[in-house]
Structure 1
């Protein structure tokens, strides 16, 4: 069950008395692993019935998205500025607007 994990997980495993087998990913391998993690977290979010746990899955997705932005060369501040710019220009998704095409 090899997969990308949060940075502190190897230390947590060591503290439990086990020895983790790890490697550091870079470039395409890292992007592929983060892409897979994003899909995993989305599936966990979609299957979660407890609201608080579902929000935790959203937080996990947020961390993965931040890591992907960083790999693409964008710092958190840059990423958030882009998100804000898009929200200011086009709005957010707060109102539940569902577009069904044009007449």
Structure 2
């Protein structure tokens, strides 16, 4: 019997039961939930890094985005507020679309 001890998507218990299996779950409190979102974010980021093709990479990005939505909900921030912060930072410091790789800074 595999033991996972990890945050999963909300419908996973139903998916498992629909497959004729049973599972044990517990509901996390807010502090545990946020901690496990962060752990899951690292897991998904590694899967994104290791993705072998565009389809896999985009699926991992979708998982990361779902975790972003969960995290901002935990912080009481809307996606619109997050997007406003992202836009402001991009306006002040730019985005990451040009592929600029900083080597060093000299005095």
Query: TM-score band, normalised by the shorter chain?
Result: 0.7 to 0.9
What is the root-mean-square deviation in Å for CA atoms of aligned residues?
Answer: 1.4
The alignment of Structure 1 onto Structure 2 pairs a total of residues equal to 103
- Provide TM-score, normalisation by structure 1: 0.88
Gaps of 5+ in 2: none
Corresponding residue to 1:69 among 72, 88, 101? 72
Q: Which residue of 2 aligns with 1:11?
A: 14
Matches within 5 A, 1:1-103: 1-103=4-106
Partners in 2 of 1:78 and 1:17 — Cα distance?
42
Larger Rg: 2
Question: What's the TM-score, normalizing by structure 2?
Answer: 0.85
